[in-house]
Chains A and B, each alone.
Chain A
Amino acid sequence: MSTQVPKQEAFRRAVEKTTHLVSYFLLAILAVTFLLPLYWMFTGSFKLQTVTMALPPEIFPSHPTLENWTLLFTGPWPIWRWVLNSVVVSLLTVLLVLVVSSLTGYGFGKKKFPGSNVLFIILLSTMFLPNQVMLIPLFLLVRWMHLTATTIGTYFAMAMPMISSPFGIFMVKQFCSSIPDELLDAARIDGASEWELFTKIMLPLLKPALAALAIFTFNQAWNYFMWHMVIAQDLLQFTIPVGVSVISRTPAAGKMITNIGLVMAGGSFGAFFMIVFFIAFQQYFIKGITFGAVKG
């Protein structure tokens, strides 16, 4: 009996170790498969045009060149302007979404007023609607107001469809409901005004939820390709995704086909910012994704 237990234990551990090894092996294969396109793009950006079209393909560039990157940075494309545009549009969207979601979510989560249920249900029912439907009227509105005539107007137009985020409002409302009323009542007895209740009690508690919402919104706004393309009228108004798509459609000088290496450099440049952003804020991404879907 006394030898039986350690033996079983050793066997269990051996099984666990092998399953882990098998898991690592399978996961490595899967990860390589799914990350291969990004690897191919990045290494492709260091290949000459003749190499990108060579057979068999070079798995690793044997004669890496910076030609594509030089062309990307010194060519006719104002890529740093595109980065600036993307950053400003995404930050503006985040700012507006945070203000709207925190105020409105708090109102729905902690205040009682006639009609609140109906108003909230109307809001919620639009959460899953395809946003392409409303882009047509919004586009007509932008055109009618000549918003794209100015840079600031263009930025606002690009942020417009995301401002009233039903998801953000819903998220804040749920979060507010989980905070006990006694906390607010105590502050109210101490003489805090309604506004102070919100800014001094609620906002600090909401911080983690808002941080997740901010990170999530930033990524979404950055990749809102269709709308950016509809709004951007000229080269200086492009955001990064629009710029990358246009580079990928422009033939190399004097040729019928695109310069593959240059396109890969453009793609890598476009992907770089969001990947770094994701690695820096991974925890917030995960909070934003799992919110609402998984209890606890």
Chain B
Amino acid sequence: MNKFRTLAREFRKALPGYLFIAPGYLAFIAFMLVPILFAISLSFYKASFDISARQFVGFAQYIQLSKDPIFKTALINTIEYALVIVPATIFISLVIALLIEPLGAKSQAFFRGAFYIPGVAGGVVLSVVYLWIFNPTYGLLNYLLGLVNIKPILWLATPPHSFQAVCAVVLTFTIGQPIILFLAGLAGISQDILDAATVDGASSWQKALHIRLPLLRPVLLFVLATQTIQVFQLWEVIYMITGGGPYNTSTSLVYLIFQTAFVGSNYGKASAIGVVLMVIILIFTAVQLRFWKDTDI
């Protein structure tokens, strides 16, 4: 009896907590957790437009994927996109942040905003104008290259160039966020440390390399993680400017998921590709967290 009463008291004490999280947690279960679990289960089914007629096929779709050349290209491209775009984004935004940082508050705000604006405009809007810029006959890019005697390039129709074109478009809108993060990180570095280095005769480049960069490590790791996960999900620019082509040379995993699911109505296969992407991102995040543990963030 006594035990029952303490249990009841415990429950009454815990009740507000459960009630506060209930609406959000139920929404989370309904619109995230269950869909994710359902997608994982769908990957073991052959499922097309009429979902109720799905057939259990076990790992068959994963085995098929491992032999599918388009899937392999998409997988390799996705990793290559990350290997190109992420370092480029970090390098450019770090240089810009280091250039902005010594300026006055007003100039800082101005440039910070200027570099972030392409990002708020969105990938669709930027892709639309890039389609014109990349046009081989009347596009701005080939005209500018012509001024330095480079022959016209079929940007969106020849293999290495369509990949490069996608990278260029993505870079115009990925740098804004890291610049803001790096500036916030730089502002957090105490002036005393930098002054001490100045007294010791360190040049500004020495200070940047040996003091600022190491102290920026937590922010750098955060940017690396978020940017990589974002690029792993690259899709809309590909959809807008190359359609994955030519010959799937600029496709990505998410583009393939979109095509397979929402154009081809092959929900089982698309889910299997999604699960592969999920596993890649999970492995990447786990490795990242290892690094985070060493820094106190």
Contacts and interface: CB of A to CB of B under 8 A. Distances in A.
B103 A293 contact: no
B285 interface: yes
B224 to A, nearest CB: 11
B291 interface: no
Interface in B68-125: 96, 99-100, 102-103, 107, 109, 111-118, 120-125
30 contacts: A16-B102, A24-B107, A26-B99, A35-B117, A40-B133, A57-B138, A57-B140, A107-B24, A112-B13, A112-B14, A113-B15, A130-B232, A130-B281, A133-B36, A134-B35, A136-B39, A138-B31, A138-B35, A141-B35, A161-B32, A169-B24, A222-B122, A225-B124, A226-B235, A270-B121, A285-B120, A293-B222, A294-B185, A294-B218, A295-B297
B21 A114 contact: no
Given A37-B126, A225-B236, A226-B236, A136 B270 contact: yes
A233 interface: no
Nearest to A230: B262
Most B C-beta atoms less than 10 A away, residue of A40, A122, A164, A260: A164
Nearest to A289: B180
Interface stretch (B59-67, B158-166, B272-280): B272-280
B117 A136 contact: no
Nearest to A138: B35
Q: Is the interface of B mostly helix, strand, loop or mixed?
A: helix
Q: Chain B, interface size: which category? A: 35 or more
A263 interface: yes
A213 to B, nearest CB: 13
A57 B143 contact: yes
Contacts, number: 281
A27 B99 contact: yes
Interface of A: 16, 19-20, 23-24, 26-27, 30-31, 34-35, 37-38, 40-41, 44, 52-57, 96, 99-101, 103-108, 111-114, 116, 119, 122-123, 126, 128-141, 160-161, 163-164, 166, 169, 194, 198, 219, 222-223, 225-226, 230, 241, 244-245, 248, 260, 263-264, 266-267, 270-271, 274-275, 277-279, 282, 285-286, 289-290, 292-296
Interface in B27-54: 27-28, 30-36, 38-39, 42, 51
B118 A101 contact: no
A55 B138 contact: yes
A44 B111 CA distance: 24
Nearest to A223: B122
B274 A123 contact: no
B155 interface: no
B281 A241 contact: no
B122 A161 contact: no
Interface of B: 13-21, 23-25, 27-28, 30-36, 38-39, 42, 51, 96, 99-100, 102-103, 107, 109, 111-118, 120-133, 137-138, 140, 143, 172, 175, 177, 180-181, 184-185, 188, 204, 218-219, 222-223, 225, 229, 232-233, 235-236, 240, 254, 257-258, 261-262, 267, 270-271, 274-275, 277-278, 281-282, 285, 297
Nearest to B122: A223
B117 A277 contact: no
Contacts of B282: 129
A133 B51 contact: no
A103 B26 CA distance: 12
A294 B24 CA distance: 27
Contact of A41 (B103, B128, B219): B128
A282 B123 CA distance: 19
Contacts of B115: 30-31, 34
A100 B27 contact: yes
